[in-house]
Chain A
Amino acid sequence: MRNLWIFINRYNAFFLFIIFFIFGLILTVRNNAYQHSAAVNSTNEVVGDVYQNLNVLKKYLNLGPVNDSLAAENAKLKTELLMLKSIDSAKKITVKDTLNNPQYTYLSARVIKNSITLRNNIITINKGKADGIASGMPVISPGVGVVGYIRDVSEHLANIQSLLHKETKISVNLKKNNALGSLVWGTSNFDYRKAFVKDVPNHFKVNVKDTVVTSGYSSFPPGIPVGSIINTSVAAGDNSMAIEIRLFNDFSTLQYVYVILDKYAAEQKELASKVPNEQ
């Protein structure tokens, strides 16, 4: 026993290394797991506060471009509103019905922390549980483009698991022929302006500049433009294509995002859980 103690004491650097390293590994694995309940992240009060304060400065520097994009969106929404108003009276009821009882509600939030340089990027926004945000909700950027899913939620802040994350997978369509695929990022490039559409069967005809939209299968509303194709390739002996797309939204200048509250999300989830071994 005494010899063992002397041995451990002599090589204490190594044994301490093992202990601390395993502790770090456990934290990493638990954070990677789907059911994570981490307290030490940017929804934390202190950390969130630092980013909030920093963001006050950044917000002023970016006022110009943000104003422009909001004005452009306003104009677009106004046009759509006019179109709805001018619909003839026979169809009014159905229009009114969807307006009063929409499946999706949009909630705007300000980005207070963004990152694009890591393998797994997380965005923090200034809305939380108090505003009705829950884990798993989809997030899009104003105008066009998807951002990601809500990950951790605290009282007034929330973390988004960005599209630029190894776990994020979003179901998408090619607009032209509705071919289904899944949108992922970072398998062979780490450029925040590009992403990949995988698992598209290779009998579909795909051209450069075709538009990719969300399919509506993975909690995003259908038809949101995601990006345009810049490169297609088929690996030999593989029956699906890997399509490289240029994203419509720019993650590096993200200022405002919309969190989408889906009225039927809980129902959809419950139904999905009843299907055994869905792959």
Chain B
Amino acid sequence: MNSRIVLVNIVRWFILLLTQILLLRNLSFYNMATPFVYILFLMLLPFGIPNLLLYLIAFVTGLTLDAFYDTLGVNAAACVALAFVRISFISITLNRDGFDEPEPTLGNMGFKWFILYAILCVFSHHLVLFFLETFRLAEFSYTLLRCLLSGIFTLFTIILIEFIFYNRKAR
């Protein structure tokens, strides 16, 4: 059971990062909305993961993407912010011990919980990402607009992917 989860996550890491680097990197609407779907990997990590390990994985994943995007540190910081939001949200909404489900997927958690979780994760990541990338406040409104449009794009894609791999457990 445990090794299966590890394997699934490793495969998911490779698939999502390859898709992001080879396909989604070239995709954008009017250079305003660019999707960052690879963060789905961080969102779907199992519940029981220790905080330190989660931060390490988030940091390394971000750094890997940075290497391909030539934006050293930007994605890493954004992923760490996402990890913090993820830990806070899960500890507030679910009781600490004895999670019923292994992973926070749409099928496991239900639509209402998952969409709120996804919105918070995606926008925390995108806010840090776009503001660190621009690194100046002079273009504040444009950066915010890009962040918002990209966030909606990413969110839409993530929900779509989750629906494609939707398997409702018998509750």
Contacts and interface: CB of A to CB of B under 8 A. Distances in A.
Contacts of A117: 25-28, 31, 34
A247 to B, nearest CB: 13
A190 B72 contact: no
A204 interface: no
A124 B59 CA distance: 24
A20 B59 contact: yes
B31 A192 contact: yes
Contact of B51 (A16, A21, A32, A188): A16
B11 interface: no
A20 B26 contact: no
A34 interface: no
Given A17-B80, A21-B80, A47-B67, A190 B32 contact: yes
Contact of A116 (B21, B31, B80, B132): B31
B84 A17 contact: yes
B68 A47 contact: yes
B33 to A, nearest CB: 9
B63 A20 contact: no
Nearest to B31: A190
A24 B73 contact: yes
Contact of B72 (A17, A38, A166): A38
A31 interface: yes
B72 A27 contact: yes
Interface of A: 12-14, 16-17, 20-21, 23-32, 38, 40-42, 44, 47, 50, 54, 115-120, 122, 124, 159, 166, 186-188, 190-192
30 contacts: A16-B51, A16-B55, A17-B55, A17-B81, A17-B84, A23-B76, A24-B78, A25-B73, A26-B73, A28-B71, A30-B72, A30-B73, A31-B73, A32-B135, A40-B63, A41-B70, A41-B72, A50-B21, A54-B22, A115-B25, A117-B28, A118-B34, A118-B69, A120-B70, A120-B133, A166-B134, A166-B135, A190-B32, A190-B146, A191-B31
